[in-house]
Amino acid sequence: MTNSFAIETENLWRIYQTRQGAEGGIPALRGVSFRVPVGQVVALKGRSGSGKTTLLNCLAGLDRPTSGTVRVLGHDLSQMSDDELTVWRREQIGLVFQSFGLLPTLSAYENIELLLRIKGDDYQTRHKRALECLELVGMSRWRDHRPYEMSGGQQQRVAIARALANHAQLIMADEPTGELDSKTAGEILTFFRNLVENEKITMLMVSHDPLVDQHVHQVFMLKDGNLE
């Protein structure tokens, strides 16, 4: 893999066994090969059951492919142990979810600071970085607000700030606009594009949202476990 690609897969298969000892299985991915250049916003689209979430999980090291190659940020994930993958995700990858994934009893600041505490950063480092990330997503004024005191768009911005806290070079987002109205979704997608261009990072998002097409560099379409 060259440095010009943040993600590269080759002939990626993921087959789920139906029951122990049974022959065959259900293929969720069927030989997926694609590349995502560094510094782009890329969308992965397809109908429910097309394999989008399975592919995202393989790229994030949350699921092991049955066969094929996955390289992310220069790492061959098949050569990494579960412990190594956990450290790698914590230090290089940012994950954003449709339901935001914020802890309801913690403030915006605390949701970000907790991630850095788990990472092992000292207080001054994590305090400074949490404030930087809130500023980056325009949420400094809401640093002490809990999720129920914020709109969906504000919660998503905090979730993005948390994903950026570890200086992630790659953000993976699963249906990041799924809980948002069209106006807020457009604002978040514009923010994503600006963020990638300003911070020189890469973003891959799984989405059904037609608005996504206007804000990304490339759209990959999955159908029945392979790219169309």
Q: How confident is the model at residue 1 (pLDDT cuts 50, 70, 90)?
A: very low
pLDDT recorded at residue 184: 86
Two tokens, residue 6:
């943040």
Q: Running DSSP on this structure, what letter comes out for residue 82?
A: H
% of the chain at pLDDT higher than 70: 96
DSSP code at position 78 = G
Over the stretch 149-198, which tens digit does the pLDDT of each residue have?
999 889 988 998 998 898 889 999 988 888 888 888 898 899 889 989 98
How much is the mean pLDDT over the chain? Answer: 90
What pLDDT score was predicted for residue 99? 78
Task: State both tokens at 209.
Answer: 């949202």
- Residue 115: the pLDDT is 87
For residue 181, what pLDDT is reported? 86
H or E element: which one contains 67? strand 67-72
For residue 49, name the pLDDT band (cuts at 50, 70, 90): confident
Cβ atoms of 178 and 156 within 8 Å: the answer is: no
pLDDT score of 2: 46
Structural domains in the chain? 5-102+163-227 (3.40.50.300)
Q: Is it the case that residue 23 has pLDDT exceeding 70?
A: no
For residue 144, the model assigns a pLDDT of 97
Q: Is 71 exposed, middle or buried (0-12, 13-18, 19+ CB in 10 A)?
A: buried
Tell me the two tokens of residue 91. 């230090």
The two counts, helices (H) then strands (E), for the chain are 6, 10
